Amino acid sequence: MIKKLVVILTLMASLALCLFAAASCSGDGSHEHTFSEEWSFDEAEHWHAATCGHTTRKADKAKHTVSEDFVVAALPTISEAGLKTKSCTVCGAVIESEVIPAYKDDYNYTGNGTFEEPYAIRNRTDLHYIRQKDGEGVYFAICNDIDLSGAPFEPFEDFYGNLDGGNCYIYNFYSLDGNFENIGFFRQNHGVIANVKMASSDENKKCYIDVTTSFETVRCGMLVGDNYGDVHNCSLENAELKVLSQFDPGANKNLNVYIGGLVGYCSAGKIERCYSVNSNIYGKAYREGLYYSAITNLGGVVGGNNSEVSHCFAYGNSIKGVTDGAVRTDAIIRLGGVIGVIHADSSATALIGYDNSFEYEHHRTYTTMEASIGQAVGRNEGSMKFVYSKYGEEIDFAGVKGTNIYCEQIDLSHITEMPIFMEEGCWTVITDEETGEYQVAFNEKSNYKFEKTR
């Protein structure tokens, strides 16, 4: 009897609660509905579901707005298919999906990977086999231009071998998934990469990177993110790089962004006889949290140098650096036509920067604002010899604290026909003018010659 009474009272209490809730939502304004910030959705619509217990209530209900283009959700490999999707631009629900077929396993292993007979790389599939065959002492040779259009190409994590690009072009490489510390066609290089041309002057043969990252230090270059090996006689034309780094590295730490047209950061090894022309390079460092610095280092060829860079030039690039973040954060921007910043105990020799354009922005209120901008080098903290630059137009530095221009403005009229200079690649020797041996001698177009050393 008692149990029956308890059940009856419980049911009556529940009924009373429901009646109260119904009465309170009857329009007299005594109850205010609350809704989730997260979207709920079905195949046709999306909405914000009620969190106040009234499950029939839906806020902001509307039909899906579907994106026009597919976005790659998973890259295909040689063994596994990938996936591309179309999603609602409002709630993110996946509306449509298509499988990206796995790459055909049609590599015939021309060559044997030796210095005398390198593995031949002729197409997109062949490039994937570098992952399987890579190693110290292994040689690869690109035999013709390679078109990577159709789907994003998964970058190489690390490279330890020897790659001769044969002065061929790799084009239509693009990366949109960049939440990595190192970003580029090769995220990290420990080997030798030479004679590779990324993109070309043809509008239909471009390369671009457009990524958002969240790391304390970010290194991005179209060819190499972080270099520990050697890069010789490589080039970038008509490309676009855009990197936003948004992160709180914690107390007593800086947020560092290094973006170079070809190489993000040279940690070790050397970069020589490389150039970058007519490319757009954009980098933004957004430091969440208080104190310490947001530092943006951008260069047409190399973002930051901690080793050795020589005989490189940059022409006609558009370079823009931005800093943003919390109040009481130092904002530092270093923009160079060839190199963004040369660190202590590092060297740069024989550089030319010509008619590159620069733009910078400091957002918020900072403790210190500093911009260092130069046609060849943004900021030099190491050793710099035979570095030449010329401005295409004056840059307004008004209101920026600590501005330094480290590159001498000189007359380049002794260099005839800049287009020929760009096409023919590099020069041999720049000697000291004070000794009477000063000259700028340009070579005819030639490949870097590999040596059997790795």
Residues 352 and 331 in one domain: yes
Please give the structure tokens belonging to residue 2: 């008692």
**Mean pLDDT of the region 427-443:** 43
Question: What pLDDT is recorded for position 306?
Answer: 96
Domain-embedded: residue 218: yes
Question: What pLDDT is recorded for position 448?
Answer: 61
More confident residue, 99 or 390: 99
Domain-embedded: residue 325: yes
Residues 145 and 56 in one domain: no
Spell out the residues 6+ positions from residue 419 whose beta carbon is closer than 8 angstroms to its own.
Answer: none
More confident residue, 425 or 230: 230
Residues 60 and 149 in one domain: no
Question: What pLDDT is recorded for position 129?
Answer: 81
CA–CA gap between residue 270 and residue 261 (Å, rounded)? 16
Phi, psi of 71 (to 5 degrees): -120, 135
Instruction: Look at the alpha carbons of 115, 120, 124, 130 in this order and tell me if their dihedral is positive or negative.
Output: negative
**Mean pLDDT of the region 157-184:** 89
**Mean pLDDT of the region 201-229:** 90
Domain-embedded: residue 392: yes
**How far from 130 is each of 78, 86, 155, CA to CA, in Å?**
12, 32, 11
Question: What pLDDT is recorded for position 432?
Answer: 45
**Mean pLDDT of the region 240-245:** 92
More confident residue, 266 or 100: 266
The mean pLDDT value of the chain amounts to 77
Identify the CA nearest to 343 among candidates 377, 292, 300, 390.
377
pLDDT at 103 over 80: no
Domain-embedded: residue 175: yes
Residues 243 and 96 in one domain: no
Domain-embedded: residue 451: no
Domain-embedded: residue 236: yes
Domain span holding position 72: 34-102
pLDDT at 270 over 70: yes
Residues 273 and 408 in one domain: yes
Residues 131 and 91 in one domain: no
Residues 244 and 142 in one domain: yes
CA–CA gap between residue 313 and residue 327 (Å, rounded)? 37
Of the residues 63, 79, 102, which one is the last residue of a structural domain?
102
Residues 149 and 296 in one domain: yes
Please give the structure tokens belonging to residue 208: 């671009």
Q: Confidence class of residue 319 from pLDDT cuts 50, 70 and 90?
A: very high
**How far from 93 is each of 18, 43, 151, 172, 315, CA to CA, in Å?**
34, 8, 22, 29, 44
Please count the structural domains in the chain.
2
Domain-embedded: residue 29: no
Q: Confidence class of residue 444 from pLDDT cuts 50, 70 and 90?
A: very low
Q: Amino acid identity of 199?
A: A
CA–CA gap between residue 114 and residue 117 (Å, rounded)? 5
**Mean pLDDT of the region 385-401:** 45
Chain-centroid distance of CA 343 in Å reads: 21
Residues 57 and 148 in one domain: no
Residues 258 and 207 in one domain: yes
CA–CA gap between residue 194 and residue 186 (Å, rounded)? 13
Which pTM was predicted? 0.72
User: Are 260 and 296 a contacting pair, CB within 8 Å?
Assistant: no
More confident residue, 408 or 72: 72
**Mean pLDDT of the region 307-333:** 83
CA–CA gap between residue 35 and residue 50 (Å, rounded)? 4
Residues 197 and 261 in one domain: yes
Above pLDDT 70, what percent of the chain? 72
38-51 pLDDT, tens digit each = 899 998 999 999 88
184-211 pLDDT, tens digit each = 999 999 999 999 999 877 877 889 899 8
Q: Confidence class of residue 258 from pLDDT cuts 50, 70 and 90?
A: very high
Residues 232 and 380 in one domain: yes
Question: What pLDDT is recorded for position 411?
Answer: 42
Of the residues 102, 118, 136, which one is the last residue of a structural domain?
102
pLDDT at 400 over 60: no
Of the residues 78, 102, 126, which one is the last residue of a structural domain?
102
5-36 pLDDT, tens digit each = 434 444 444 444 444 444 444 445 567 888 88
Chain-centroid distance of CA 7 in Å reads: 66
Within a 13 Å sphere around the CA of 33, how many CA atoms are in the beta-carbon half?
A: 18
**How far from 137 is each of 119, 193, 222, 347, 358, CA to CA, in Å?**
12, 13, 24, 28, 41
Residue with tokens 């809730």: 21
Domain-embedded: residue 448: no
Question: What pLDDT is recorded for position 304?
Answer: 97
User: Are 258 and 225 a contacting pair, CB within 8 Å?
Assistant: no
More confident residue, 210 or 400: 210
Residue with tokens 């026909």: 417
345-371 pLDDT, tens digit each = 999 887 877 778 888 887 765 667 778
Largest CA distance in the chain: 116
Question: What pLDDT is recorded for position 64?
Answer: 92
Question: What pLDDT is recorded for position 393?
Answer: 38
281 burial class (0-12, 13-18, 19+ CB within 10 angstroms)? buried
